[in-house]
Every structure is written in C-alpha cells, then in structure tokens.
Amino acid sequence: MISPKLYSMGTFFNLIFVFTVFLLQGVDSTTFTLTNNCPFKVWPGTLHGDRSYPLSQTGLELGTGASTALSAPTGWIGRLWARTGCTTDASGRFSCQTGDCGTGSVSCNGAGGAPPVTLFEFTLQGDGGKDFYDISLVDGFNIPASISVDGGSGDCRTIGCPVDINAHCPAELQLKPGGGAVVGCNSACQAFDSDEYCCRGAYGAPDTCKPSSFSQIFKNACPQAYSYAFDDQTSTFTCTGANYLITFCP
C-alpha cells in the first residue's frame, strides 16, 4: 500500500495556481487572424500583459500573402506588431531592423518590440465585458496596418493606418539603418527623450501634455491611431464577443 503524500500549504497553492493557468490557457475566447499583404516577409511578435497569459506563439514568420490564426484566452491583455528586415547571422542569432525583441530568436518570449513600431493593442473582456482595441503610433511607425472585426456586437469598427508614414517622415525622426532607406519613423519621445514629448514629469497628465507638431504628423496621416500618450478620445475602440483580423499593409 502506498502511503498518502503530504503537501505543504505552499506546494498546495502552487498546484492550484498551475491548474488554474492550465484551465485558463485552454479557454480560447478570441481568435486573431494575422495576414501579411506586404510585398516582403514580416515576423509578427506578441506580448502579454502582467495579468494575462502568453499566446500560443510569441513570434512567427509570415510570407507575402500568408495568414495565420492565434487564439487568445479569456481576459487576454497584450499587443501584437510586425518585425521587418529580419535576418539570422552566422552564429544563428536572429535580429530585425524594426520591432526587434532582442531575444536572438523568432520567439519574443515576453519581450516587447523595439521602437519605432506600429502596435496593435487589445484588452479582451475588459470593463463591462467589452473588448478594447487600438492601433498605436506612440512608439512610432514601421508599416501600415489595420484591424477589422469578425462578428461581435456594439460599435465594432474597422480601424487602420493604411498610409506609409515612412515616406513622409521628418529627417529628425527617420530610422535609416546604415544610412540606407527609411524603414521606420520614430515618435518625438523616442527621438528627443524629453518630458514634453514623452508626457512625463510635469507633462504627465492630459491637461499638460498636448499634441505636438510631430505627433500631429502621425495623426494627420492616420486619424484613428494613437499619436501620443493621451490621444484616447479618437483612438480607442470597443466591441463585444468578436474575433479580429489584423492586416499588415492593408
């Protein structure tokens, strides 16, 4: 006869936590379908928030015209983006010109994308059970993008930033690796690292941090996208019970 094994309370609660994570990861409430319409490969990355769990893939490759689906568990909070200009060096280290995670591999494994990068941000089943979603240029821009909605109820809008801002990016904001072509357009915060442009310090509130001439370049090009930290009223969208279609270069 096998004697029953006694667990400490710490071990018991650890088991409960692991079991809860297992159950939550198995509840797929929302599907993100990623499609690459760009004339070049992109490498989407994903990052989950502190109160959420990672998606099934934190990094992948998408060729021109390719699509893939990722399932998100109930209550997922996080962001997705496209990396561009990615290569693997002789030592096997993977890196990208824009949106690089710094992990040295295709998987981002909990790391975010380096600016400048066009971001898709989601809070699923948030306040009132609604999904909140946006396209953010607060960290700059690398490629055009859109989010469209499949199903759902409420004011479920298709939103996008279909303009190539790189073609109109001011010289002081341009990302030009090795002095070559412009592959990204930095935000003023990233370019100048000042409190005024980064909405911090004395400028850390909506009444003190206002749109700048630089953020207005992004807003004029893509009115539905976040152009600076407090650009909420025209840039946050909601839907309930939907799946989302994310298109690079719509």
User: What average pLDDT values come out for the chain (250 residues) when binned by 10 residues?
Assistant: 38 38 52 98 96 90 98 94 98 98 97 98 91 97 98 96 97 94 97 96 95 96 96 93 97
* pTM of the shown model: 0.86
pLDDT at 123: 96
| CATH code for the structural domain at 27-248 | 2.60.110.10
Map out the domains of the chain as residue ranges: 27-248
Tell me the backbone φ, ψ of residue 26, rounded to 5 degrees. Answer: -85, -5
pLDDT of 6: 36
pLDDT score of 179: 86
Rounded CA-CA distance 52/122 in Å is 11
Give the end-to-end CA distance of the chain in Å, rounded to a whole number. 66
φ and ψ at residue 151, rounded to 5 degrees: 80, -160
Is 113 in contact with 45 (CB distance < 8 Å)? yes
Angle at the Cα of 190 (from 221 to 104), degrees rounded to 5? Answer: 105
Taking the C-alpha atoms of residue 187 and residue 231, their distance in angstroms, rounded to an integer, is: 14
Give whole-number Cα distances, 204 to 8, 199, 201, in Å: 46, 5, 5
Are 98 and 142 in contact by the 8 Å Cβ rule? The answer is yes
Residue 205: its pLDDT value, please? 96
